[in-house]
Amino acid sequence: MKISSKYYLSLPIALAFTLFSVSCDKDRNKPGYSYFPDMEESRSYETYSENPVLEGGNTNLLPVENTIPRGIIPYQFEKTEEDRKLAGQNLLNPYLGKPNEAQILKEGKRLYNIYCLHCHGDKGDGKGFLFTSGKYPYPPASLLTDKVVTKPDGEMFHAISIGFGVMGAHQGQIQPDDRWKIVSYIRRELIERQ
C-alpha cells in the first residue's frame, strides 16, 4: 500500500496543532511546566532578602569604609574659610589659555544655564528666576561684584563644589571638569562682558 504525500504533510501539521493546543491554558495563574528551574529559582540570595550567613542578616551590604567609586577623585578640601582660601591658592583652572577656548566657553554656558541660571540669573547678577519670582526671599550672590571678581578660580571651583553661604554643594551633580568649564564661562563671559 502506497502512502500519499498529503499524509506526510498533514501529519506534522496535525502534531504541531496538537502540541500548540495542549500548551495553551485558560488559567493564567499557573505558569505551566518549568524545564530549567535553576533559571527561575536562583540559589543565590535576593538583593534585599535576609541572609543568615552574613553579620547583621542583610544580603545587600554597604561598601567598605573609605571606598572610593571608580573614576572619582575625592575632593581634599572641607567647607571652612581656611580651606576655601587654600583651594584658591592650590587649584588652577585646567582650561585657562587652551586653544579650544570657544568650545569650552560654549559648554560652560550650557552647563551654567542648567545649574546656575535659576539662582544667579542670565547675566550673573543674582537675579535669577527663584529670586525674581518671589519663591526665594534672599537674593543669591551676584557674580559681578568685586568680592567675586577678585577671587581666584580655585575659590569659585570650591564654592561650586562644597557650597558657600546659603548655596548648597553641587559636587554630587556636576563633574569636576564641568565645574571648571562653568568657572571659565563665569570668568571669561560674564565678568569680562560687564
pLDDT of residue 90: 95
Domains (range + CATH), the chain: 81-193 (1.10.760.10)
- The whole-angstrom separation of Cα 35 and Cα 55 is 36
Which three cell numbers mark 182?
562653568
Residue stretches of the chain with pLDDT short of 50: none
pLDDT of residue 114: 96
CA distance to 13, 24, 31, 35, 167, per residue, from 17 (Å): 6, 11, 20, 21, 70
pLDDT of residue 103: 95
The pLDDT tens digits of the residues spanning 175-191 come to 999 999 999 999 988 88
Place of cell 543568615: 52
The pTM for the full model equals 0.67
pLDDT of residue 31: 66
Phi, psi of 32 (to 5 degrees): 95, -155
The pLDDT tens digits of the residues spanning 83-111 come to 999 999 999 999 988 889 999 999 999 99
